[in-house]
Amino acid sequence: MASRFILLPGLFLLLLGQPVFAGELPQQRQNELRDLLLQDCGSCHGMTLKGGLGPALTPDVIATRSRDMVRTTIEQGRSGTPMPPWKNILDNDDINWLVDTLYKGSALQ
Amino acid sequence: MNTTMRLFILVAGLMFLAACSTLRGTGDMGVVIERASGSVQIIETSHQTRLGRIEGLGDLSHASVVYSRDERYAYVFGRDGGLTRIDILASRIDKRLLQSGNSIGGAISQDGSLVAVSNYTPGGIKVFDAETLELVADIPATYGRDRLRSKVVGLVDAPDQRFVFSLYDAGEIWIADFSMGRHPHITRFKQVGRQPYDGLITPDGRYYLAGLFGEDGLALLDLWHEEKGVRKILADYGRGSKKMPVYKMPHLEGWAMTEDYAFLPEVGRHEVLVVNRHNWKKVTSIPVYGQPVFVMARPDGRQIWVNYAFPDNDTVQVIDTEKLKVVQQLKPGKAVLHMEFTPRGEQVWISARDSNRVTVYDTFDFHEIKVLPADKPSGIFFTSRAHRIGL
């Protein structure tokens, strides 16, 4: 924890001049989540997210679903389907990042 | 002797020498899927070396492989519907086509003349000539009054030139019988259970089993007695009343059979189920490290090797089939995806996707024989599969 406080002033300087988002994730966590999305979610939804046993998660498909619905599906899973709940494994910031990334379609870029 | 003649003899001699130094068999060869880069490595197990690498195979997430009966050609089934015939001796792509939008696996017929691919989108199977990859039969998985198309899973080959597969959305098992030539006879078994998610055929080719995601129990079809239809066995097998989340669907292809027992991955629970394979009744369940994905028997049936779903996917355990308990635990790397035994089982090759490596273990004393680098490796497939029913 101590190291985080030491890093903060430096981080603040780095972020000056850039928009700052609440709960912006460290780059390393973003990389881990991108891996999780493409590799682990990808085992059902396809590594290019074009679908498999689970539906496609490409931006055109996601755009037809509400943000709440996408978020709830990741958090709680969907009963009657193999989609498991991820809330015990991922925290709020993680899930927000995944939802944003799905809407933007930025995981594959 | 004139110059032309001398030159001819020299060239012929050189060609002979070149052939001598490159001639080899394929019985100790195999391929390792590198899923992120759309490539495969060609390897050999006698000295655990990489012989070559082939790129340009498309989306290889969840890719699988079957072999021609001469063990020279590997058919790679990609997620994007790609079907590629690879010449593993020449280390090159022989033929390749995109046969659907989204596929999940394939099988080769008993006589090696037909290759079948199971597709999610559009749901069904397509059957190709194994030599030319020309389309032989297109079998849409239609069901219900609205003629919907179901995703197809659990496609295997069966004796007497048959393919057997399950319809995930329809809850059906179909047999496509090619014994009369290239126009298949289709037999449909309806209402076998909700959401069959994978299937396997026993190593003797007699029983087809489908795992059910939507309800407990397994669907069993005796291929010696199709007229008896599909029956449910192991009514308690599955997620039970307290449905546990499943972070990766178990794979049934590797279901392990020994002389008396079948070893099955429990769905959602940290257990391997032991079943009496003569009456299909539960014997016991063995507590293990995580949710099992592959449960695979060493070829002699003395050991069962198990890997696990996220987040326990850094671990592999070994079960002794006599003691029916875990006797060894290994950490082959991050995101262990697959295990493959050499034909007689003295080695097992294990892929660790996020550690970018394949580790070769000695199955007798569990020491690491070798570590080979690979780019996000997933499935490992040795040529000995060519001569096993259902693989």
Q: When comparing pLDDT for B245 and B281, which is higher?
A: B281
Report the gap between the CA of B80 and the closest CA in chain A (Å). 9
- Name the residue among B67, B61, B57 with its Cα closest to residue B97: B57
Which of A12-26, B67-81, B174-188, B287-301 shows the lowest per-residue confidence on average (mean pLDDT)? A12-26
- Name the residue of chain A whose CA is nearest to B122's CA: A52
What does the DSSP 8-state code read for residue B384?
Answer: G
DSSP secondary structure of A11-34: HHHHHTTS---TTPPPHHHHHHHH
Tens digit of each residue's pLDDT (9 = 90 or more) over B258-290: 888 999 998 888 999 999 988 989 999 999 999
**Which run of H or of E encompasses B137?**
strand B135-140
Q: Answer yes or no: is A77 within a domain.
A: yes
What was the pLDDT predicted at B4? 67
CA nearest neighbour of A26 among A45, A58, A4: A4
Which residues in A have their CB inside 8 Å of a CB on B?
35, 39-40, 42-44, 46-48, 50-53, 77, 79-80, 82, 84-85, 89
- Return the structure tokens found at B299: 């070829």
The overall average pLDDT reported for chain B is 92
Question: pLDDT (tens digit, 9 = 90+) per residue, B202-234?
Answer: 989 999 999 998 888 899 999 999 999 999 998
Contacts of A48 in chain B (CB under 8 A): 59, 61, 79-80
Average pLDDT of span B123-136: 97
Both tokens of B352, joined, read 């660790």
Q: Would you state the pLDDT for residue B18?
A: 56
Indicate if the alpha-carbon torsion angle B258, B262, B263, B265 is positive or negative: positive
**pLDDT score of B244:** 75
DSSP strand pairing (B114-121 vs B102-108): antiparallel
C-alpha B102/C-alpha B125 separation (Å) is 11
CA angle, A23 then A28 then A33, to 5°: 75
Q: Is residue A74 part of a domain?
A: yes
H/E stretch holding B275 reads strand B271-276
pLDDT digits (tens, 9 = 90+) for B193-207: 999 999 999 989 999
Range(s) of the domain holding residue A72: 28-104
ipTM metric: 0.73
How many other C-beta atoms can be found within 10 angstroms of the C-beta atom of residue B87? 16
pLDDT greater than 90 at residue B127: yes
Residue type, B14: L
- Does residue B79 carry a pLDDT above 90? no
Instruction: Evaluate whether residue A100 is within a structural domain.
Output: yes
What CATH number did the domain enclosing A97 receive? 1.10.760.10
Residue A18 lies in a domain: no
Of the candidates B49, B11, B12, which has an alpha carbon nearest to the alpha carbon of residue B29? Answer: B49
Q: How far apart are the C-alpha atoms of B378 and B41, rounded to whole Å?
A: 11
Mean pLDDT (whole number) for B299-320 = 95
In a domain, residue A95? The reply is yes
Rounded CA separation B311/B304 (Å) = 21
Asked whether residue A12 is domain-assigned, the answer is: no
Domain count, chain A: 1
The reply to whether A6 falls in a domain is no
Per-residue pLDDT band for A6 (boundaries 50, 70, 90) equals very low
- pLDDT band with cut points at 50, 70 and 90 for residue A10: very low
Tell me the chain B residues in contact with residue A89 when contact means C-beta distances shorter than 8 Å: 310-311
pLDDT at res. B15:
61
**What integer pLDDT is reported at residue B248 of this predicted model?**
80
What does the alpha-carbon distance between residue B359 and residue B346 come to, in Å, rounded to a whole number? 14
Residue A2 in domain = no
Token output for B73? 């050609």
Q: Residues B81, B57: contact at Cβ < 8 Å?
A: no
